[in-house]
Every structure is written in C-alpha cells, then in structure tokens.
Amino acid sequence: MRLRCAVLDDFQNAATEAADWSPLADEVEVVPFTTHFPDEDALAAALADFDIVVTLRERVPFPAALIARLPRLRLLIASGMRNSVIDYAAAEAHGVTVCGTASSSTPPVELTWALLLGLARGLVQESNALRSGDPWQSTVGADLHGRRLGLLGLGKIGSRVAHVGLAFGMHVSAWSQNLTKEYADEVGVQLAADKRELLADSDFVSVHLALSDRTRGLLGAPELALLKPTAYLINTSRAAIVDQDALLAALHEGRIAGAGVDVFDTEPLPAGHPMRTAPRLLATPHLGYVSQANYATYYGQAVENIQAYLAGEPVRRLP
C-alpha cells in the first residue's frame, strides 16, 4: 500500500502545481486540504489515516496531545526551518521525524512595502471609490521622502526593508534589544537610543522581530501612545508582538493614522472578528510568505524530504 500524505491549508489549491510530486507517485498518495481545520478534534479525525503531513509555517500547532492521536504519523514537514508550535520531544517519543524547508525573506519584505505604500497613498480607499463611482480623489497621500522609518528589528528582513526605505529617501532608524551601532552603521541606518525614542520619532514603524518571551507584547497601550497621530504601524512579523486590543483601540480612537497588518492571534481570522472591520486598517490574510517562488521552494523541498525519508536518510531535520 502507498503511504498517504496530507498537505494542510492549501487554500489556493496550489501545492500540487507549485512542485513536481510525480517522483512520489508509486509510493505516496498526496491529498491537499484546501480548508482549515477549526480545532484539534477535527484535525485528529482528518489526519488519522495519514503517514505524512505537510504543514505551512506555524499556523497549525502539533502539541503532544495531537501527535499522540495520530498513530500512523511518521513524517511531519513544516515550511521554513523554524517552528515554535511543534512539540519536538513528543514527536521523537512517538517516532515521528520532523523536517523543514528553506524559506525566502524576499516575499515578506515586498509585502511590508505593499502595506506601507497602500496605507500612505490610500490605495484601497481610492481604488474602491473609482470603481464604485464615488467622488474623484478623497485622500491626500503621506509622503515617504524625507520622513522617518523606524524599524523594530534589523535582521534579514528588517535590513532589506531598510534598504528600500533609504532608496525612497527616508531617514531610517532601528532598534532591538541586541542591535549594535556597528551593525546599524553597516546597514546604513541610525541606531535609536531606545524603543521609546524610535516610536516617538518615526512617521512609519515596521515590526521585524521574532516572537519570544522578550518580544511578546512589546508594543502595548503605553508604547502605542508614543506614536504620532500621523504615524503608521506595519506588522508582518507576529501578531503577539503587538497587543491586539491596544491596537484596535488606537485605530478606533484615531490616535494613529493607520496600521497595516498581515498577522493575527487566530488564523484564519474568524468571521466577525473586530480586526475585519477596524477603521484605518489595511489587513491581509498572512500573505507575507505566499509567493510563487516560496511555494516552489516549500513544496519542492517537501518532495525532497519525503524522498530522503523513504530512502532512510532524512534531510533538513528540525529542530
């Protein structure tokens, strides 16, 4: 009998088109799931007959309780080489091999600028007005040239966002707990004295930090209160870095000009969630990693991982 491989959250039904799965045809049956399973019970029931699971990023947790309910599971593949929602000890205890894939930092950089530019120039509002016959021109765009871009985090993604900001003629500052002046100078940006200074001085603030105990809730109500009323906040990193209730309050009360958000505490975002209708918010459904090139890498390397596992020589093992 062939092994069965489930591909989770294939919302665009793109997994089997993004890569060539034919080398597995004789040994593995690939079954994409185009809808998200709402809870652990539904997931356990759906995956009960699968030997291999391919999951996208950190959307689906695999805690010990779930792994114990999947006795056939032998190989779990997650896109990217970092995943904080898999219980690796439980996987090992149940004989489950966990592997990852490469992931490009280019798509989230590009989406960051799509959100920032969309907010600054009122693109969604103006496009909707044009298509519906509403008044011609209702917004006055915010300039980028000469304004200050503040980056929380200057790693692989943050540094590339910085280079684009510099190309627009922006003044770019950065801060994180471990950022040094030497590295900031190397990237060509100013090191902010502290988080408060960065928030208070910036016209646009973009979050590019990994989620950890130190960054969880890093921007709460006191920090958001430091932003100028004309400032915009962009978060394409992790939702939990920004207090969601505090952000919603700032948007509803008009204490900031707007926010661009690609990440949420619960994904997919439930119907009726306040983030779906918040004013001054440009929101996208976690598209940061969703691009043709990234999908080709994710699923192409998933095929390679399965081939290597079947050959008894697993590659790209996590953690």
Per-residue pLDDT reduced to its tens digit, 151-165: 999 999 999 999 999
State the catalytic residue, choosing from 57, 147, 208, 286. 286
Judged by phi (left if over 0) then psi (alpha if -120 to 50, else beta), residue 151 lies in: beta
- For residue 193, pLDDT over 90 is answered with yes
Q: How many other C-beta atoms can be found within 10 angstroms of the C-beta atom of residue 145?
A: 8
State the catalytic residue, choosing from 57, 148, 208, 238. 238
Tokens at residue 147, please?
């304004």
Q: Where does the pLDDT of residue 304 fall: very low under 50, low under 70, confident under 90, or very high at 90 and above? A: very high
If you average pLDDT over residues 245-253, what whole number do you get?
Answer: 98
If you average pLDDT over residues 16-38, what whole number do you get?
Answer: 97
The whole-number pLDDT of residue 79 equals: 97
The mean of the pLDDT values for the chain is 97
Confirm whether 238 is a catalytic residue.
Answer: yes
pTM: 0.94
Per-residue pLDDT reduced to its tens digit, 56-85: 989 899 999 999 999 999 999 999 999 999
Give φ, ψ of 239 to 5 degrees. Answer: -60, -40
Distance between CA atoms of residues 217 and 227, nearest Å: 16
- For residue 175, pLDDT over 90 is answered with yes
Judged by phi (left if over 0) then psi (alpha if -120 to 50, else beta), residue 137 lies in: left
Per-residue pLDDT reduced to its tens digit, 105-140: 999 999 999 999 999 999 999 999 999 999 999 999
Judged by phi (left if over 0) then psi (alpha if -120 to 50, else beta), residue 272 lies in: left
The whole-number pLDDT of residue 1 equals: 87
Number of H helices and number of E strands within the chain?
A: 12, 12
The whole-number pLDDT of residue 288 equals: 97
Confirm whether 58 is a catalytic residue.
Answer: no
Secondary structure of the chain: what % helix, strand, coil (to 5)?
35, 15, 45
Per-residue pLDDT reduced to its tens digit, 275-298: 999 999 999 999 999 999 999 999
State the catalytic residue, choosing from 40, 110, 267, 304. 267
If you average pLDDT over residues 236-252, what whole number do you get?
Answer: 98
The whole-number pLDDT of residue 99 equals: 98
Tokens at residue 312, please?
């008894």
Q: Print burial letters for 221-238: b (CB count within 10 Å at least 16), e (below 16).
A: eebbebbbeebbbbbbbb
